[in-house]
Structure formats: C-alpha cells, structure tokens
C-alpha cells in the first residue's frame, strides 16, 4: 500500500490557477496585496506536498517526478508571488522563473501523453501543457501585453481550462481513492 495525495495537490493547483486567472483577468489588480493570502496558501501547500513527494517517492514510478517536482516549482512560484505582492516588489523575476517552470510543465505534459501514463494521459498531458503555457507567457504578458485586454482574456481562458482539467482529474481521484483506501489501516 502506498500513500497517494496527488488529489490534494491537484485541487490546490485548481485553486491557484483560478486565483491567477482572476488576477490576470482584472488586469493585475489595482490592489495586489489582497491576493497575498491566497497565493501564499496555495504556494505553501504545493511546496510542502511537492517536497515530500520528491524526497520520499510515495507513489509508483515517474509519477513522483511528474507531480512532485512540478508541484514544488508551482509552490515556490506562488510563494514568491505572494512575497513580491506583499512587499510591493515587481513580478518580473517571478515571471522569468515561471517561463522555465512552464517549459518544464509542457515537456512533462507531452511526455505523459507519449508514455501513455495516468488513467487519462491525453487529459492529464493537456492539463500540464496548458498550465505550462500560463508560465511561459507570464513574462511577455507582464512586459508587453499587460494592457492588452483580449490577450489577458485569452490567458484567463487558458488558465481556467487548465483549472477545469485538474478539477476533473482531482475530484475523480478523490472519488476513487475513497473506495480504494476505505479498508486501509496503518501497520501496527
């Protein structure tokens, strides 16, 4: 028997992506400090669960890489965003880091599909790819397209579609895990 908290990681990501989509939709907000608690909570949960997965490998095979490592990266991005907003710092360095995290997510999404991993590899792969696009496009959006409303709407849509994919995957995982683990007991 193994420990599986990927559903928790996914639903946390859903919350983060919805917050980020709202932040982008509102034009990076006139009062960005109000986003600090939400980005901070999301980042903390992602960093803690991701680090645990990376350091202990509690699930089978490469799922620890795909979900654990990307969750660490997602978590540190959201924590850094929370700190930057709280301190009224610029987000450019966070957006540059997000570019490389986004590339990683896209690569992992494509690899999930080509290796036929997860129960629904196309859906999971697409979730990783769309989430990654959000990161890859963060710096150009922040630098050049911040005031371009149609571009921000497209970015919002991409983030929300990714959130819907992860919500479906995460809630289905919760549904299945409740049955799969209903008789599990810790070893004496």
What residue ranges in 117-178 does DSSP mark as E strands? none
pLDDT at position 15, please? 98
Please give the Cα distance from 46 to 101 (Å, whole number): 14
pLDDT at position 29, please? 75
| Domain 6-166 in this protein, CATH class | mainly alpha
Q: Is 17 exposed, middle or buried (0-12, 13-18, 19+ CB in 10 A)?
A: buried
pLDDT at position 1, please? 46
- Domain regions of the chain by residue span: 6-166
Tokens of 69: 């490592």
Total length of the chain = 188
Q: Is 40 exposed, middle or buried (0-12, 13-18, 19+ CB in 10 A)?
A: middle
Please report the DSSP string for 79-119 in residue order. HHHHHHHHTT--SHHHHHHHHHHHHHHHHHHHHHHHHT-SS
Provide the whole-model pTM: 0.93
**Each residue's pLDDT expressed in tens, for the chain with a length of 188 residues:** 467 899 999 999 999 999 999 999 998 877 999 999 999 999 999 999 999 999 999 998 899 999 999 999 999 999 999 999 999 999 999 999 999 999 999 999 999 999 999 889 999 999 999 999 999 999 999 999 999 999 999 999 999 999 999 999 999 999 988 888 788 777 77
Tokens of 70: 């990307």
pLDDT at position 27, please? 82
Q: Identify the residue whose tokens are 């939709």.
A: 25
pLDDT at position 2, please? 62
φ, ψ at 118 (rounded to 5°) = 70, 170
CB-CB contact of 155 with 134 (8 Å)? yes
């Amino acid at each position: 028997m193994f420990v599986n908290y990927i559903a928790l990681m996914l639903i946390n990501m859903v919350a983060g992506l919805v917050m980020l989509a709202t932040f982008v939709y509102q034009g990076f907000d006139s009062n960005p400090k109000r986003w600090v608690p939400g980005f901070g909570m999301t980042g903390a949960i992602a960093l803690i669960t991701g680090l645990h997965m990376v350091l202990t490998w509690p699930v089978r095979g490469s799922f620890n890489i795909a979900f654990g490592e990307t969750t660490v990266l997602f978590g540190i991005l959201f924590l850094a965003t929370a700190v930057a907003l709280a301190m009224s710092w610029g987000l450019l360095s966070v957006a540059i880091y997000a570019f490389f995290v986004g590339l990683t997510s896209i690569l992992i999404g494509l690899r999930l599909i080509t290796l036929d991993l997860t129960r629904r590899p196309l859906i999971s792969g697409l979730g990783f790819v769309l989430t990654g696009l959000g990161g890859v496009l963060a710096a150009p959006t922040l630098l050049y397209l911040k005031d371009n409303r149609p571009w921000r709407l497209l970015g919002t849509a991409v983030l929300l579609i990714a959130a819907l994919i992860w919500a479906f995957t995460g809630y289905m995982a919760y549904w299945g895990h409740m049955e799969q683990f209903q008789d599990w007991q810790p070893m004496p």
